[in-house]
Homo-oligomer: A and B are copies of this chain.
């Protein structure tokens, strides 16, 4: 189900999601192995599998109930594991959501990357959208917890730490794309336009995630139409 259960991402899942308590020291070294504090904690294959099970279960439960209503015991039960085992791999509930969110943010960055290298002379906006929207939609349908954590506003601190920059990057990407295809647009309007585009896009995604499979192509096309229609209006009057 969850595509990421096997992958290099998993390795650093528990690396340093710990501190809800602030750490006065250099607050960066997620995977850096800073000085001497963190023992590498050799993980057995069984442990890696458990982490994957737990994250997969968490994805399902978060998607069904949202972050706040999800209990750690429910995640453990769904993964077929005792609560104590869950806390062997994650320091707290936040860390579970943060591990998922990190994977989601990385995946979305990758899925949105194509927009950065579009050549307006060779490719129309319509073509670029038609190509890129499909995979994005598929990703969200395969990982519904992504919307549950990122869109459903009141996420915990560590998730917001990932979501806010992701949104900022996406906004910047849209703004850059707009600037490329509409060089004459005043900067103020470009910013506003990017914000509205992003908001509308985020609004329609839940529709696509909840829809029946056979409606997805039509809905994806309509999402493209929505964005293209707005872009058209941004250029003309």
Place the interface of chain A in its size category. 35 or more
A204 to B197, CA, bound (A): 8
Known: A154-B68, A154-B152. A233 touches B223 (CB 8 A): no
Neighbouring B residues of A231 by C-beta, 8 Å: 229
Chain A 91-148 interface residues, beta-carbon cutoff 8 Å to B: 148
Neighbouring B residues of A200 by C-beta, 8 Å: 200, 203-204, 226
A213 to chain B, nearest CB (A): 15
A21 at interface by CB-CB < 8 Å: no
Q: CB within 8 A of A192: which of B148, B188, B218, B229?
A: B218
A189 to B215, CA, bound (A): 11
From DSSP, what is the main secondary structure of chain A's interface residues? helix
A63 to B207, CA, bound (A): 24
Known: A65-B154, A225-B234, A226-B230. A203 touches B199 (CB 8 A): yes
Q: Say how many copies of this protein the assembly contains.
A: 2
Q: List the B residue with the shortest CB-CB distance to A152.
A: B153
Neighbouring B residues of A225 by C-beta, 8 Å: 196, 230, 233-234
Cβ contact within 8 Å between A223 and B207: no
Chain A 185-208 interface residues, beta-carbon cutoff 8 Å to B: 188-189, 192-193, 195-196, 199-204, 206-207
Chain A 214-237 interface residues, beta-carbon cutoff 8 Å to B: 215, 218-219, 222-223, 225-226, 228-234
Cβ contact within 8 Å between A69 and B199: no
Q: CB within 8 A of A196: which of B66, B69, B189, B222?
A: B222
Q: CB within 8 A of A233: which of B188, B201, B229?
A: B229
Q: Which residue numbers of A lie inside 8 Å of B, CB to CB?
A: 65-66, 68-69, 148, 152-154, 188-189, 192-193, 195-196, 199-204, 206-207, 215, 218-219, 222-223, 225-226, 228-234
Q: Which 5 A-B pairs have the closest CB atoms?
A: A203-B203, A229-B229, A68-B68, A229-B233, A200-B200
